[in-house]
A = this chain, B = another copy of it.
Amino acid sequence: MKTDTIPRGEKYRNLGIKLTPQRIAILDYLEGNLSHPSAEDVYKAVLRKYPTMSFATVYNTLETLKQNGMVAELTADPGKKRFDPNPRPHHHLICTRCRRIVDVQVEFRLPVADRDRAGFEITGNHIEFFGTCPDCKKRTYGSSLQQAAGYLRSSG
């Protein structure tokens, strides 16, 4: 019964999820992708090859991939979800002007003493470095007095 595997999507065979052409297109788009696309980014990119693709399928698939640890969901962009296909543990540089997100592949030691844990069981961490990306530095529009954790009306 394990014969004649269809070539389409064979490289995703052992992911433990049912492979549809739509899912393969999404996986192809995400593979090695170091951007941090929103659901709409994924939708637009995949739509080119799959004109019948629907938003629901994008959301369904991203949710499935998340359940299987193949993408992480980021909250760095207020008002919309962003997805991270980089499976290596890492942190993020976030441009407070255009909300561009870039990976920071640096490890930090972040010990939290029991008395500072408030009884939490800590399972992971993630650092957001806020600042201005090279492109936005050039443009120099508006002022740069964004709060570290503040909100920026996303310009896109």
> Which residues of A approach B to under 8 Å, CB–CB?
66, 69, 72-78, 81, 84, 89, 93, 95-96, 102, 104-106, 108, 110, 112-113, 116-134, 137, 144, 146-151
Contact = CB atoms under 8 A, between A and B. Distances in A.
Contacts of A126: 127-128, 130, 148-149
Each complex incorporates copies of this chain amounting to 2
A67 to B, nearest CB: 9
B132 A121 contact: yes
A151 B108 contact: no
B137 A130 contact: no
A146 B127 CA distance: 17
19 contacts: A66-B150, A69-B147, A74-B149, A75-B75, A75-B77, A75-B78, A81-B151, A84-B149, A93-B117, A93-B118, A96-B123, A104-B112, A106-B113, A106-B116, A120-B132, A123-B148, A124-B148, A126-B148, A127-B128
A130 B122 contact: yes
A149 B95 contact: no
Contacts of A130: 122-126
A149 B129 CA distance: 15
